[in-house]
Structure 1
Amino acid sequence: MEIQSKEISFVIQGAVNNTYAIKVISSIRKNFPESELILSTWNGSNINEEIRSMLDVVLESEDPGDYTNKEDTPINVNRQIVSTRNGISKTTREYIVKTRTDIVFENSNILYELSRNYSRNKLFSISNEFILASDFSTRSHLKGLKVPFWICDFIYAGKRDDIKKLFSLKNYPIDFFSEYEKGHPKTYQDKRHIYKYTPESYISYEYLDSKKTIKFEHSYDNNLEALRYYHNYLINNFVILNKRQLGVSSLKYYLPFSSRNYMFTNTDWRISRKEFKFFSKDTFYELIEFIEWIYIKLAKKRFKSND
């Protein structure tokens, strides 16, 4: 039986742009009319009364700040962790969809995806049920750079206890922001950055190997043990989905914004689990996604013009 909207709490986290927020919250209210909506943002945010009236809870926390080196790309990892963790603490429903303040829901597809039953190997199962995540910036451990522990952090959806555990991690240590200020290891493949882990890697690694049973020194550490470990735990705890399967779009980005040469897609996930079917809705969606990606690549688009 398909999960109903009344069983879902949405945690909408991040900084608030009122123009974006109206569109985001309206899209959720339209497609999930009985869901609980929680906006988790920062003290002093300018949130108008119309937006407040559409929400069940508005949570304003102290901003933990971002300590990314001024010459590096801000990663805002602790802002995500704190706002999500605090938002989760206010949820009351059986399932949680953690999302962002710039993600619009175009339909209720995610209810169907949450309701699907997949087999799993209990030896590699951490979560009670599968956690849904997007392919938007999920890097592949099988092709391209071949990096483990890199699951896109835009959307997570699953059982409340599983999402709560995912964000029970400690805040990103301040020294990690400038870990490689004096030089990079040879295996660190993107030397434009000096931080130890990307937000995607930090959250994924802390969850999938919380006891630190394997070596994973930085986001590009693709030692064979880490790759094997990650493969088994990824396909038994997460479902990687494209934007059509999730039923979402971004007000900020053209999705997906990663190269498919480096992405781990839903097709990759199904092949890894030996569940690929050529004639299926999933494969059709992936074909459309591929065509759109070619257009985005040729047009050299990343950000939408209204951002």
Structure 2
Amino acid sequence: MRNSDITFLVQGPIRDRTKESLESIRKYCPESRVILSTWQGEDTSGLEYDELVLNEDPGSLKIFLDDDVVNYENTNRQIYSVSNAISHVKTEYCVKTRTDIEFTSDNFITFYKDNYLKYCRDSDNTILKQRVLISSINTPNPNCFLQFVCQVSDWFFFGLTEDLKKIWCQDLISQSDYYHNEDNVPDRKYKNGFYFGRFSSEQLITLGFIKGHHEDLPTYFRDKNFVDFTNRLLSSEFIVAEPNRIGFTFLKYQNYCELNLKNISDLKGFMAFYAVTTNYIRWNQLSRKYCEKKRSNIKYIIHEKLCMIASLYLKKKTYKL
């Protein structure tokens, strides 16, 4: 695989660090094509890209609490700006990324090649042609106390262009499809102050991807009946790894993306997210179990136990439970 085989689809509004984000792609993948997909009216002067896609704004979804609008959800904006621009991708491989993500290396290329065929897949239950590499952060471990199901991080995707099209070329979400009054949503405490409807933004995108292939879907964000389904989905359709393994950082959440041993607060944040997400070691464990039908070895078992202990501490400290 060469740089020239890859197109970067950079999606989102123009932000303070978008210039640096685009420059980081040029630094590590100079022969790759860069498509910037943003909104009509955005100032793109001085930015480095090969093609610009200016989208009309499809608008946001409203989230209600006691009949009052308490938040707006931008999932449709992300779906529209990605699906509208991905038709412009002509290379075999594609990276979907954001206008506020900066690359620190091209490790994702070698990492993908080392892992997409590492384990067999269940050919009767696969949607994608090959596995797609995604970020562990915002891909929760459904077995931990948070129990978010069918949630795949929307930060970064790398794989075959035809597979990214299967994920992102989906219908926009109607106001009535997934959103309703927050008072009717169980386990609101686990939203940790965030206002969203029955599902998070990442869950909405994941459900939009799989709903044409699976009849049964979760009823809300912590539907425990879909824990096993989520683990199978992650093991067969994706490769899940931490941003520092993939080779990018997200400055808004830099302390979660980069291990900083010099700062106790940053270290706690990194370890907290590591413990409650599907990290690379956990993904290997899932793949051995669901794809290879093998028992987990002692290293994986110890790792899982340590993550569970850390997540229980986080539960007690954050939620007082």
Alignment correspondent of 1:214:
216
Separation of aligned partners in 1, 2:274 and 2:253: 16
Q: CA deviation at 1:200?
A: 1.0
Alignment correspondent of 1:303:
none
Q: What is the identity, as a one-letter code, of the residue corresponding to 1:121?
A: D
Aligned residues between the structures: 276
Alignment correspondent of 1:227:
227
Separation of aligned partners in 1, 2:297 and 2:12: 37
Alignment correspondent of 2:282:
268
Which of 8, 11, 20 does residue 23 from structure 1 map onto?
20
2:42 maps to 1:45? yes
Which of 178, 200, 210 does residue 202 from structure 2 map onto?
200
Deviates more, 1:266-275 or 1:59-68: 266-275
Separation of aligned partners in 1, 2:160 and 2:141: 25
- What residue ranges of structure 1 are gaps of 5+ in the alignment? 280-285, 298-307
Which of 50, 63, 71 does residue 57 from structure 2 map onto?
63
Q: CA deviation at 1:45?
A: 0.4
Q: What is the identity, as a one-letter code, of the residue corresponding to 2:238?
A: F
Q: CA deviation at 1:215?
A: 3.6
Deviates more, 1:147-156 or 1:198-207: 198-207
- What residue ranges of structure 2 are gaps of 5+ in the alignment? 258-268, 290-295, 315-321
Aligned counterparts, 1:286-297, within 5 A: none
Q: TM-score normalized by structure 2?
A: 0.78
After superposition, the C-alpha distances for 1:28-73 in whole angstroms (9 at most, x for unaligned) are 001001111000000100111x21xx21111110011222337645
Alignment correspondent of 1:180:
181
Residue aligned with 1:47, SS: coil
2:108 maps to 1:110? yes
Q: CA deviation at 1:252?
A: 2.0
Which of 6, 17, 21 does residue 8 from structure 1 map onto?
6
Residue aligned with 1:220, SS: coil
Structure 1's 38 and 277: CA in aligned 2 closer, same or farther, altered over 3 A?
Answer: farther
Q: CA deviation at 1:23?
A: 0.4
Residue aligned with 1:170, SS: coil
Alignment correspondent of 1:85:
83
Considering fraction of residues, name the structure with more helix.
2
Alignment correspondent of 1:150:
151
Q: CA deviation at 1:139?
A: 0.9
Structure 1's 176 and 190: CA in aligned 2 closer, same or farther, altered over 3 A?
Answer: farther
Separation of aligned partners in 2, 1:142 and 1:186: 16
Separation of aligned partners in 2, 1:88 and 1:102: 19
Structure 1's 251 and 261: CA in aligned 2 closer, same or farther, altered over 3 A?
Answer: closer
Deviates more, 1:136-145 or 1:80-89: 136-145
Q: What is the identity, as a one-letter code, of the residue corresponding to 1:25?
A: L
Alignment correspondent of 1:305:
none
Aligned-pair RMSD on alpha carbons?
2.8
Alignment correspondent of 2:238:
238
Q: CA deviation at 1:260?
A: 3.5
Structure 1's 72 and 7: CA in aligned 2 closer, same or farther, altered over 3 A?
Answer: farther
Q: CA deviation at 1:94?
A: 0.3
Q: TM-score normalized by structure 1?
A: 0.81
Contact 1:8–1:35 at 8 Å: present in 2 too?
Answer: yes
Q: What is the identity, as a one-letter code, of the residue corresponding to 1:137?
A: N
Structure 1's 230 and 208: CA in aligned 2 closer, same or farther, altered over 3 A?
Answer: farther
Q: CA deviation at 1:247?
A: 0.3
Separation of aligned partners in 1, 2:234 and 2:178: 26
